[in-house]
A = this chain, B = another copy of it.
Amino acid sequence: MASEALVGIELVFTNDLSSQYSSALSSGYSFLCVDLFHPKLIHEENLTGCPPSHIPRSDLVYEKDGKSITKSIVGKVSANIDVDSNIVRIRESSSKSLMRELSWAAHLGLPAVSIRVSRPFNPNLARLLINFIRGEYIPIKIWLVFPMTNEILDPSGDDNRNGELITEDKLSLSPWHWWFNLSTLTADITDALGVVLELPKDLPDELVISRWFSEPIVCLLVHTDLFLTNAKGYPVLPKSHQRVIHRFFKLNIQVMLTGACRNDKGYVAYQQYISWLWKSQDAPDLYEEQSKGLEDQLQEPLQPLRDNLSSTTYSIFEMDPFKYQAYEDAIYKALCDRSSKCQLNGVQEQSRPEVNKLHTNDINNSSSTRQVVMVLGAGRGPLVNATINAAEKAQCKVRIYAVEKNPNALFTLRSRVDCEWRGLDVHLIEGDMRDLKTSEKADIFVSELLGSFGDNELSPECLDGAQPMLKDDGISIPCSYTSYVAPLQSLQIYNETRRSKDVTNKVGFSMETPYVVRLRNCQLLAPPQEAFVFQHPKKDLSESNEREVCCKFKIPQDSVVHGIAGYFEAVLYKDITMSIHPDRHSPQMVSWFPLVFPLEHPIYVNADSQVTFHLWRLVSNRYVWYEWAIIEPQPTKIHNAAGHAYKIAL
C-alpha cells in the first residue's frame, strides 16, 4: 500500500494547462484529468459531419518550465463521442474522432485516457479500443468510467443525448453488466483497461457494491457534491461513503475528484480530506503485511513430498505466530489426556508391585509414563520444539522421534539434536514416513503436511503410510481436516491464468492447474461448502483416499464464475483448530493462502440460479490429482481430466 493517497482532479478544458497543472499540484493533487480536445469542436463535428479545422492544442502546452508534464495527465476523451450511437452518421464521425483523440493521447505519451461509458452494449467502442491498443507500441491505459449503479442516471442529462430514448436494456442492466459486456468483447486486451468507478450520492445495496470488488478498479470518481461541510467548514464525506472508500483502498486504488469547488477553503481541502481518509485506514495486519505484492498472483502449489523444501520456505513457515502455538496447545492437551490415562494405568500397575519391581531400573524406557511422540516431517524442527515446550508444560516425559526425508533439513536437525536438544530424548529418523519402522509405536503423531486445500500436499497418503507405527489408541495431530469450496468471481485471476499460457509450453494446461493465490481483487459468489473430510488415524487403512463431491451454490445476482476457491480447516486436537475458511480464518495465521481451481472459460450465471460444481480427488499408484467441472447452469469440460495437466507425485 502506498504511504500516500494518490488523488487526482478532473478539470474543465482551458488552453492554459500549465497553470492548471501548477495550481493542482500546489493543492496536493498528484494528477490531472483534462479534455484532450476542446469539447465544443467535437460537438460541431458531430453535427456537421466535418472534422474541426484545427486541433485545439499544440503539444507544447503539455510542458511546464521546459519539462513535460504529460506523466501527470489523464486525457479525457470528449463526452460527445458516441461510437455506438444508433445514428449511423454520429457513429461514423464519432469513430473518427475517437481514433484521432486516442492517437493524440498516444502521441503525447499520456499514461492513460479516460472514456465515460454510458451504454449497456458497446461493440464499436470495444472494437476501436482493441484496434488502438493493438496498434500502439507504448503502453497506454484506458480508464473506463462507469457509474457504480444505475441510480445516478439522469434522463435529462448525458444519457439522453442525441435524442435517443433510454432503452429498457439500460434500465434492466446495471453498469456492472455494461462493464462485463465490454470487458468480454475486449477479452484480448483487458489488461490495458481499468475501471474508474463513480460514487453515487445514494449508495446502493451491498451486493451492488461488492460485485465491483472483483473488477480491475483503478480509481474512484468522487463528486464535490457528495461532500458535506463540517462544523469547522471543511468538506467531509458521509460515514457510509467513508466506509466504501476504505474498502476500495484495499485494492490500492486512486481517487479522482470532479465537480465545481463548493468549499471556501478551495480544492486543497478536498485533497486533504481524501489524504486523511487514506491515512485513517487500519494499519495492515500481519496477513496483509506478509502477503504484500503477492495479491492475486498465481503460485504453483508446493509438492513437499516430491520436492525438498528450501531453507527460505521453511523460515517463512516458521514465522507463523499462530500455527506453532496452536500445535503446542494441541500437543499439550493430547499429552495431558494421554498421561492421565497412563497414570491411571500406572495406578493400576502399582497395585501389582511385584511385577513393577522387575522394571524399576529401566524406568527410563518404561512406556507407562513416557509418551512417544513422532514428528512426521520434522523440517527444521519447529514441531519438535513445540513438543518439547508442551511436554514441559504438561510435566510429562516424552521421547521424540523426528522423521524427515529432506537431506538438507536433516543437517539442521542433526545439529539441533547435538546442541539445542542435547540431553533431551530426541531421536532422528531419516527417510520417508511412509516406510516408517521403529522399535516402538507412537502415542502421538504430530505432522504439518497440510496444503491450502487440506489434503493437497498428500497428508492422507503420508499419514496412512505411517499409521502402522501409531498405537491403536494413539492420537494424530491433526486428527481431521476438511476442505471447502466456493465459486469465485475475479477477472484479474482469470486474466492471470490465461496469461500463464505463455509461460508453460503446454498450451491451455495453465487453465487446468490449481493455483495458490492470496485472493484480494475478487468476490465469493456464495458461502463456502464442505468438500472432502479426512480423519486420522483411519479406522480401516484399506479405505480409499479418493473423494468425490457435488456442491450446489445458489447465486444471488448475475455473476461470472471464473473459478472455484478452495480452503481448509483442520482440527489439531479437540477444540484446537486451524482454519483459512474466510468466515473463521485463524488470526494472524499467514502460512496458507487459498487454492483456486480455475475454469477454462468464465461461466455467466443469472441471478437466483444454481451453480453445480463437481470435484474429484483421484489416486493412482504414482499420483494424486483433482478433476473438476461445472455441471450447471451450463456444463464445462472436465478440467485436468485423467490428471493430464497437473498431478501430485506420490
Contacts and interface: CB of A to CB of B under 8 A. Distances in A.
A636 B185 CA distance: 6
27 contacts: A91-B548, A121-B631, A123-B614, A123-B629, A123-B631, A123-B638, A124-B548, A126-B629, A126-B638, A127-B638, A127-B641, A130-B642, A131-B641, A134-B641, A134-B642, A181-B631, A181-B635, A184-B634, A184-B636, A184-B637, A185-B635, A186-B638, A187-B637, A188-B637, A188-B641, A601-B601, A604-B634
Contacts of A131: 641-642
B637 A135 contact: no
Interface in A140-193: 180-181, 184-188
A404 interface: no
Nearest to A546: B92
A637 B186 contact: yes
A287 interface: no
A644 B127 contact: no
A8 to B, nearest CB: 30
A507 interface: yes
A10 interface: no
Interface string A600-639: 0100100000001010100000000001010110111110
A485 to B, nearest CB: 15
10 A-B pairs closest in CB distance: A187-B637, A130-B641, A184-B635, A134-B642, A123-B614, A131-B642, A604-B634, A181-B635, A601-B601, A185-B638
A632 to B, nearest CB: 8
Contacts of A642: 130-131, 134-135
Interface in A562-613: 601, 604, 612
Contacts of A127: 616, 627, 638, 641
Nearest to A126: B638
Nearest to A627: B127
A165 to B, nearest CB: 17
A604 B507 CA distance: 25
A132 to B, nearest CB: 9
A638 B130 contact: yes
Interface in A102-127: 121, 123-124, 126-127
Contacts of A123: 550, 614, 629, 631, 638
A612 B167 CA distance: 16
Interface in A78-108: 91
A494 to B, nearest CB: 13
A134 B643 CA distance: 10
Contacts of A507: 501, 507
A619 B635 CA distance: 39
A70 to B, nearest CB: 26
Nearest to A508: B507
A372 to B, nearest CB: 37
A180 B601 CA distance: 17
Interface centre among A134, A642, A644 (most CB of B within 10 A): A642
Contacts of A601: 601
A123 B551 CA distance: 13
Nearest to A132: B642
Contacts of A180: 635
A121 to B, nearest CB: 5
A425 to B, nearest CB: 45
A531 to B, nearest CB: 15
A312 B641 CA distance: 45
B629 A134 contact: no
Interface in A459-509: 501, 507
A619 to B, nearest CB: 13
Interface string A16-33: 000000000000000000
